[in-house]
């Protein structure tokens, strides 16, 4: 789905949902998920038209498609024949994304490990093959990844330097792809609470330093300084996750502006977190939140005090332990927010609030000023991957749930004056 605005000629918004909600780490499983969810959703929302998707290629699939041109072209042709337009890719989870016990291991391997570079290269090569079969190749391709590592795994600046060096090798690969007739790909780093970059402030700081190091690397392999600076800025940027920004109580407009400081705004992941206002006065809300603990995903919790200072813990069991032992100032907080992706159309869930309004404000801030994108197109990817652990939704109809999410986001786009092609 592509949207345009009469006041912003030459600019467009592409809308998709992230297929990381589909289980399975092989090509057959991906095709099955597309047949069961994506194609019925396409028929409801875009029958006879191109339907944008955010592709998730686990490591085994990325390796096969990236190294086997025949397999890649076959998959790309099938997507094109079905009217599916994969313009954005999620390369954050390496694989086993829905496996119990995943938690912080979703960051492994991190960017210090050459396996992360190898995997992301394979995703980029697969993206090039898929792009060659797209009906509409305008704009860039975005590939999202984590900001380097899980925060607890970082021992010092040398670890972040090592991450930046590997990202430099990735940018070099992306430049080769672009110069040889492939798409312009933006490696889009995603801040997350308790990651090596926990918010857009820390991410912008990291990217500012990383771009300098990456440009220096490109000069060393033969580029002019001007070309090296351009490549580092053109192929490196931000994936702004609305849920993550909300959990950190970031101001929506400032989060969008800071994303531009970090290079290009590769994409927005449109997502919503849980919220509990005045937790001390709402013990049932506290109990409801703690009851959502489950064994697959990290659910970081951030609390904001009236002073503006924050409490932050790694997961719901950590919050439960702090409350039991009286650690921290959790019950003095004006609100808690939890990194638990819930359907973006909901303003309440299981007796708790959501950051539904914050996500809308963030999207509106980006839509209001396309100059902040650094690209001709804004990629917006609905990312609710938790359907399998949402109480009451474990066996629910994913198609109906996604259709409601699309209706909400399309409503926001249309209210801001963006209309579908």
pLDDT digit string, tens, across residues 211-229:
999 999 899 988 899 999 9
Range name among 64-78, 175-189, 259-273 with the lowest pLDDT average: 259-273
Range name among 51-55, 246-250, 294-298, 396-400 with the lowest pLDDT average: 396-400
Mean per-residue pLDDT, 373-402 = 90
Mean per-residue pLDDT, 231-239 = 94
**pLDDT at residue 396 in the model:** 66
Q: What percent of the chain has pLDDT over 70?
A: 99
Helix/strand number for the chain, H first, E second: 14, 16
* Mean residue pLDDT across the chain: 95
**pLDDT at residue 310 in the model:** 97
C-alpha neighbours within 13 Å on the C-beta side of residue 25? 11
Measure CA 117 to chain center.
18
**pLDDT at residue 149 in the model:** 98
**pLDDT at residue 392 in the model:** 81
Rounded CA gap, 189 and 332, in Å?
Answer: 33
Residue 395 has pLDDT above 60, yes or no: no
**pLDDT at residue 202 in the model:** 96
Classify 185 in phi/psi space as left (phi over 0), alpha (psi -120 to 50) or beta: beta
pLDDT tier at 304, thresholds 50, 70, 90: very high
Of 229, 225, 182, 226, the C-alpha closest to 210 is 229
Residue 263 has pLDDT above 90, yes or no: no
**pLDDT at residue 377 in the model:** 98
Mean per-residue pLDDT, 48-64 = 96
Residue 262 has pLDDT above 80, yes or no: no
**pLDDT at residue 397 in the model:** 84
Of 165, 257, 160, the C-alpha closest to 204 is 257
Classify domain 2-272+355-420 at the CATH class level. alpha beta
Rounded CA gap, 167 and 180, in Å?
Answer: 20
Whether omega for the bond prior to residue 109 falls within 30 degrees of 0, making it cis, is: yes
Q: Buried (b) or exposed (e) across 158-194, using 16+ Cβ within 10 A?
A: ebbebbbbbbbbbbbbbbebbeeebbbbbbbbbbbbb
Rounded CA gap, 120 and 171, in Å?
Answer: 11
* Cβ–Cβ < 8 Å for 58, 20: no
Residue 55 has pLDDT above 60, yes or no: yes
Rounded CA gap, 170 and 130, in Å?
Answer: 19
Tokens of 139: 């704009």
**pLDDT tens digits for 130-157?**
999 999 999 999 999 999 999 999 999 9
Query: Phi/psi at 88 (nearest 5 deg)?
Result: -140, 150
Of 192, 337, 199, 187, the C-alpha closest to 259 is 199
**pLDDT at residue 261 in the model:** 77
């Amino acid at each position: 789905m592509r949207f345009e605005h009469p006041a912003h000629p030459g600019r467009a918004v592409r809308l998709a949902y992230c297929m990381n909600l589909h289980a399975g780490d092989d090509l057959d499983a991906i095709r099955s998920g597309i047949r069961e969810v994506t194609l019925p959703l396409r028929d409801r929302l875009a029958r006879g038209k191109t339907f944008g998707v955010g592709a998730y290629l686990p490591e085994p699939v990325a390796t096969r498609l990236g190294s086997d041109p025949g397999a890649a072209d076959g998959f790309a042709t099938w997507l094109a024949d079905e009217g599916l337009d994969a313009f954005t890719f999620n390369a954050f989870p390496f694989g086993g994304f829905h496996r119990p016990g995943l938690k912080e291991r979703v960051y492994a391997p991190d960017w210090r490990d050459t396996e992360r570079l190898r995997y992301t290269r394979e995703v980029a090569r697969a993206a090039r093959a898929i792009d060659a079969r797209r009906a509409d190749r305008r704009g860039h391709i975005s590939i999202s990844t984590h900001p380097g590592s899980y925060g607890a795994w970082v021992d010092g600046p040398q670890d972040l330097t090592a991450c930046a060096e590997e990202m430099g090798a990735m940018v070099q690969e992306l430049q080769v792809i672009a110069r040889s007739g492939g798409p312009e790909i933006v490696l889009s780093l995603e801040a997350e609470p308790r990651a090596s970059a926990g918010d857009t402030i820390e991410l912008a700081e990291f990217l500012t330093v990383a771009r300098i190091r990456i440009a220096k690397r490109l000069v060393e392999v033969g580029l002019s300084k001007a070309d090296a600076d351009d490549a580092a800025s053109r192929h490196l940027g931000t994936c702004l996750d609305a849920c993550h920004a909300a959990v950190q109580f970031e101001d929506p407009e400032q989060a969008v502006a800071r994303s531009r400081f970090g290079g290009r705004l590769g994409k927005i992941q449109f997502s919503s977190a849980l919220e509990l206002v005045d937790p001390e006065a709402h013990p049932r809300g506290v109990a409801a939140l703690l009851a959502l603990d489950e064994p697959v995903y990290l659910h970081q919790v951030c609390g904001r005090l009236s002073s503006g200072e924050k409490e932050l813990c790694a997961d719901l069991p950590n919050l439960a332990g702090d409350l039991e032992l009286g650690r921290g100032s959790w019950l003095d907080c004006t609100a808690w927010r939890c990194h638990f992706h819930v359907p973006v159309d909901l303003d309440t869930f299981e007796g708790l609030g959501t950051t539904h309004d914050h996500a809308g404000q963030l999207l509106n801030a980006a839509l209001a000023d396309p100059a902040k994108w650094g690209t001709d197109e804004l990629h917006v990817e609905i990312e609710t991957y938790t359907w399998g652990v949402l109480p009451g939704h474990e066996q629910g109809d994913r198609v109906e749930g996604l259709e409601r999410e699309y209706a909400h986001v399309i409503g926001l786009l249309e209210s801001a004056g963006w209309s579908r092609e």
